[in-house]
Structures are given as C-alpha cells and as structure tokens.
Structure 1
Amino acid sequence: MIPPDVNVNFDLGATLGLSDKAEPLRSVRQFQKGDLFMLTIIQALLVIIGVVRFFVIAHFIMSWLIRFEVLNVRQQFVGQVWYTLERVLDPIYGPVRRMMPNMGGIDLAPVIVLVGLEILRIFLINNIGAFV
C-alpha cells in the first residue's frame, strides 16, 4: 500500500523521459463518452487478439506433437481439440495459404498470422494514447 503522503506519478511518458512535464492521469469524469467507447472497443479487440494468438500457438504446438506421434488424433479428447482448432482457425489460415506459394509441405500460415496479430496488437496499443 502506498502511504498517503507519497506523490505517485502515473505518466509513463514522464517516467521514460519522453515528455517534458508530468501530467496526472485524467479522472473518469473528464473522459468524453466517445473516448470511453473507443477504449472499450480497443480493449475488446486486444482480448480477441490474445485469444486468437492462444489458439494459433496451441494449434502450432499440437501440429508438431501430432507429426512426431506424441499425440494421436484417434484419441477422443485430442481429436476433438484438434478438429475444433482446425474449424476455428481455417477461416483465418485460408486466405493466407491462398496468397503463399507452395512450400512443399511446410505451412507458414500460422507464423504469418502470428506476425499479423502482433502488428495489429502493436498498432492498437500505440494508438490507445489518442483516447487517454
């Protein structure tokens, strides 16, 4: 717990030395309705990006474990998880696979999707400052 007599600066720019003077964070009452709405949308998009990233990484790891016969798709649970991930990620992988040349059995679609998600996440985080 922070003692009441300690002045805490929550300005990240001032902490990193990026701004000349430290401004305290605006209270919730000073935000306009549009700003709060945009913050909510950006936060929801960041959550969705995090969930999709988790699914892509899980699918990527499972594909290697299945290929090296550590996991078997004939097991009921593994099969259900695998086919669910296939159905969820196929609409995302499909356009990426169509744009890429045939790599001879190497599927780079998950890597490209992860890079695209990371670029989108960075773009959203960098632009969230316009609404704070």
Structure 2
Amino acid sequence: MIDHTGIGVADVHRSATFYDAALSALGMRRVMQMPGNSGTDGIGYGLDYPVFWIDRFHPHGVKQHTAFVARSCAEVDAFYQAALKAGGTDNGAPGYRDTQHGYPPGYYAAFVLDPDGNNIEAVFRGG
C-alpha cells in the first residue's frame, strides 16, 4: 500500500493554483509546505497528512498519471470543472468508462492534464 507519492513540477506556484482547486473538489487541502511554510520548494496535499506532493526536486514533464478517489459522480464532475477553471486541459470528460476498453463496471472518471502535462484523474467506482 502506498503511503504517499508525488510529482515534479516546473513551477510550484503555478501548479499549486491548479492542484489547490482540483484537489479541494475531492476534499483534499494543503497540509504541508517546504521550506518552512513558504511552499516555494514543495506542497503536500491530503486530509491529515500529505499523501500527494508537488515539488521542484523531481523531474517534471515526464507525463505521469495519478488517479484520485472521488466519493461520488458529483465529486468527479466538480473536480473536472475546478481543474479546467484553474488552467487544466481536458483529457476525458466525466462519464462512465467502457468495459470493452478494460474498465470495470461502474467506473466513473474524468481526466485533466495539469500545467506540466501530467494526466490527473478523479474516479468513483461505486456507480
């Protein structure tokens, strides 16, 4: 089981604008910043402790994929709208995914590219 993960970004401030909006739609918030409390080097998102980091230390532009759990289809929709409004690029509108393409039944998801081109997903598996 993964405790935390993260990605490198070209510009922490620019990416934070995107992730603040997109992840808040899923109930996550900034829970740690480096150094001190400035957030210039990195920002950790989560509920009580950081489970997802953006930072300037790791390579950026490698086009990673990260999927976040949503608690409902409405939360997936809210993630998608918030992410687009914060500068993300559509990479798959909210909806049920086709089982013929390998998705399990009831897989409701949305995909957005972040400012560095990473594929960020919100998924609800209860539909």
Instruction: Give the TM bin, normalised by the shorter chain.
Output: under 0.3
- TM-score, length-scaled by structure 1: 0.26
- TM-score, length-scaled by structure 2: 0.27
State the structure with more CA Rg.
Answer: 1
